[in-house]
Amino acid sequence: MTAELQTWIGVIATLAIFSFLIKENPFYRFFEYTVIGMSAAHAVVMTWDNYTKPFWVNGVMKGEYYLLIPGAIAVLYYFRYAPPKYQWLYRYPLALIMGYNIGYSLAYDPRPFMTQIRGTFESLKDLNSFIYLVIFIGVVVYFIFTFGNKSAAVGKTRTFARYAMMMYFGVSFGNTVQGRFSLLLGRLLFLLQDWLGLVKLG
Amino acid sequence: MLEKLNNLDSRWMYLALVIVLVIPIIKPIGMSISVNKDLTQRMYDFIDSLPPGSLIMFDLASNSSSDTEITPMIYAVMEHMYQKGHKLLVAGQWSSGLAFWSPKIDERAREYGWVYGVDYVNIGYKAGGTSTWRAMGQDFWKGAMEVDINGTPFSELPIMQNIRKLDDKTIDCIVIFESGSPGMETWITYFPTIPLCKGSVAAEISSSVRYIPTGQLKGLIPGMRGAAEYEKLVNRPGIATQLMDAQSMSHLLVVALIALGNIAYFGTKRKMARGR
Amino acid sequence: MRRNVPVILTTVTAVIVFFSIVLFKTADVWPGRFDRMQQFMAAVMMFMGMANMTRVHGNVVLKKDRNWIFSAWLLLVMYVYAIFGMSVGNTNDTYRWFYNAFIPPVNATMYSMVAFYLTSASYKAFRARTVDAALMMACAVWVMISNVPIGDKLWGSESWLGGMAGVRDWIVSIPNSAVSRGISVGSTLGAFATQLRILLGLERRHLGQG
């Protein structure tokens, strides 16, 4: 299997996906379904190779037998796809995972959060840091008083915060445009350089 | 005329976009760019300040769809590391990008004369979410299952002999190339003492910059433009620099379309008001 | 057994894990053990994605729904590629050849198509109807122009206020960053409230209980 054949498959796949811009068609759907299937398989292969297999060999087989207990509970998760009578069994591993994650989250999440809050108040040294603080407080007020408050001060603060948020969304949009066009440039470069050989960059 | 403009078929815009992008790819002008002092320059300065021989960890938290944004960033940072004599540890919170970027990293490493297992290593994808990285914080080998991406035991890789814990004494800096979640929150939350830099896809810039003033992020490469800036800083122009002209044209087209759309909209509105 | 035990299990696990971290912060026995167990559970659950795919697309094939032939193809590709990959390893040349031929081009093209929709949306939907919309549009246009070399040409970074890029940097570093931080406070408090609700057994939707 040659590099040329690989390029040709890439070209056909690229054009097939772009054909969706005109209309949905079987050509597009074929590549879409192929890659969904391959991607699911690829995640399994990477996990198996880099994680599960060495975990078994270098962990459990080397004496960490206590892991077989959580392992057995984890198997119950597959009962999610069992007949309805047995489906409830999947709740046990899920409950353990949720509990575990909440425990960790409650213990660790406040730290980066507090660093952010502290940083907002600590660095008050110039006009910009005051503008920063005012906008920050405005946005927090906006979310805390989403419902039910009819005070004029809160109303004005919320309007101000909304303007600031619009600026944020504008920046996000501008950056997203840059990002998506970069990806499109990559595809066009692939067609012009790797396939047609019209340009030589990089 | 205004009605026609208002109802313009999208496919004409698609065609215009392709034309506007293709011409500068084939015939680039080579306009110069300035470097973002708040983001790219900060990251460059931080990596530059590390003593030679420092160990930098790449976290590939992206998939191959972000190729055009992430690949030039990886190359530019690798070039900087080569110039400074740093060592590299590659890992990934996402399974999908590793297979794509690992061969590219190997290729660049060969060009620099880096020896695998001595100057750089790739430990591959580690599943299990944050629990895996925390386990590596206790015992790197055990947490990472003691094998690299090729299945080679860590005991056979000289560079791994000094990497026993995922902490600030072992890793001098983490550079995450990220396009979504899980991403830098893993490092900010559980490993706040390890300096963190980020190569970010453009869509994520807005939500990441808030970590810069607090020092939770030491610097950031903002999208392909940022990659071009980093290429300029390390003095090795690459694909990002060469595509900047095409990027200019596409942005101009969008701005022109926004203006045209508004002219058509307000023109029609005024006409209708006059008609009434 | 089916409804209440999982809820109690969630709470008990969360409390044990939380206190083990707080109390044994310097000792690495218990928090480390929990991580190890969680790691192994993730290893066992690695086939969940494929199992879900099999259920969804298997149903389509069995019912001969629209496009069932594509679903059958997806399942075939998925199983063949997974079995092949697991037997030869992810660094095998043939495995990587197929990966590089299909996955990066299709993924990248899918995402890049958004550029076309952004272009037409800019024309059709980006209207300065209100102050809010005008502000958003102005910031978007400013960022778009200053993010590319043409912005530096129009108003250079060496000139007053740092040029277009200088103004962009201010917008990004001050209002944009402050809003982002404010939003993160809102979302963190929301997440915290949800966690507390789960902990107290008031929120059960994750266990399929409404």
Cα(C132)–Cα(C142) distance, integer angstroms = 16
Tell me the pLDDT of chain B averaged across its residues.
94
Chain B positions in Cβ-Cβ contact with residue A172 (cut-off 8 Å): 203, 206-207
- The pLDDT value given to residue C25: 64
Q: Is the pLDDT of residue B268 over 90?
A: no
- The pLDDT value given to residue C205: 84
Q: Which pLDDT tens digit goes with each residue over A65-123?
A: 999 999 999 999 999 999 989 999 999 999 999 999 999 999 999 999 999 999 999 87
Q: Are residues A30 and A78 in the same domain?
A: no
Residue A13 lies in a domain: yes
- The pLDDT value given to residue C28: 60
Mean pLDDT of A56-62: 92
Q: How many domains does chain A have?
A: 3
Cα(A111)–Cα(A119) distance, integer angstroms = 12
Query: Which of A18-27, B29-38, B261-270 has maximum average pLDDT?
Result: A18-27
Contact C16 A33 (CB under 8 A): no
Q: Are residues A129 and A170 in the same domain?
A: yes
Q: Residues A161, A138: contact at Cβ < 8 Å?
A: yes
- The pLDDT value given to residue C152: 86
Q: Are residues A94 and A158 in the same domain?
A: no
Q: Is the pLDDT of residue A147 over 90?
A: no
Q: Residues A166, C136: contact at Cβ < 8 Å?
A: yes
Mean pLDDT of A189-196: 94
Q: Are residues A93 and A171 in the same domain?
A: no
Which candidate in C92, C112, C150 is best for mutational testing of the B interface (most B CBs within 10 A)?
C150
Q: Single out the residue of B3, C90, B68 nearest to residue A202, CA to CA.
A: B68
Nearest CB to A182: which of B26, B190, B223? B223
Report CA-CA distances (Å) from C71 to A18, A36, B60, B65, C57: 21, 10, 31, 23, 5
Contact C6 A95 (CB under 8 A): yes
Residue A42 lies in a domain: yes
User: Which of the listed residues A45, A63, A81 is the one where a domain comes to its end?
Assistant: A63
Residue A114 lies in a domain: no
Instruction: Give the number of beta-carbon pairs within 8 Å between A and B.
Output: 149
Half-sphere exposure of B61 (CA within 13 A, CB side): 26
- The pLDDT value given to residue C13: 93
- The pLDDT value given to residue C52: 95
Contact A172 B203 (CB under 8 A): yes
> Which helix (H) or strand (E) is B179 found in, with range?
none
Q: Which structure tokens are listed for B273? A: 């008001």
Angle at B239 between CA B237 and CA B243, to 5 degrees: 105
Q: Residues C37, B128: contact at Cβ < 8 Å?
A: no
Give the three-class secondary structure for B249.
helix
Q: Residues B3, A173: contact at Cβ < 8 Å?
A: no
- The pLDDT value given to residue B209: 96
- The pLDDT value given to residue A1: 64
Q: Is the pLDDT of residue C156 over 90?
A: no
Q: Are residues A187 and A133 in the same domain?
A: yes
Mean pLDDT of C45-63: 96
Domain limits, chain C = 57-114, 116-199
Nearest CB to B239: which of A104, A123, A201? A201
Nearest CB to A199: which of B25, B132, B142? B25
Burial class (CB in 10 A: 0-12, 13-18, 19+), C132: middle
Q: Are residues A27 and A55 in the same domain?
A: yes
Tell me, what's the ipTM? 0.91
Cβ neighbours of residue C127 closer than 8 Å, sequence gap 6 or more: B261, B262, B265, C133
Q: Which pLDDT tens digit goes with each residue over B202-237?
A: 999 999 999 999 999 999 999 999 999 999 999 999
Q: Which domain holds residue A24?
A: 1-63
Mean pLDDT of C136-160: 91
**Band of pLDDT at residue C26, cut at 50, 70 and 90:** low
Tell me the pLDDT of chain A averaged across its residues.
93
Residue A48 lies in a domain: yes
Contact C139 A9 (CB under 8 A): no
Cα(C210)–Cα(C208) distance, integer angstroms = 6
Contact A106 C177 (CB under 8 A): no
Q: Is the pLDDT of residue C85 over 70?
A: yes
> Which helix (H) or strand (E) is B228 found in, with range?
helix B223-233
Residue A113 lies in a domain: no
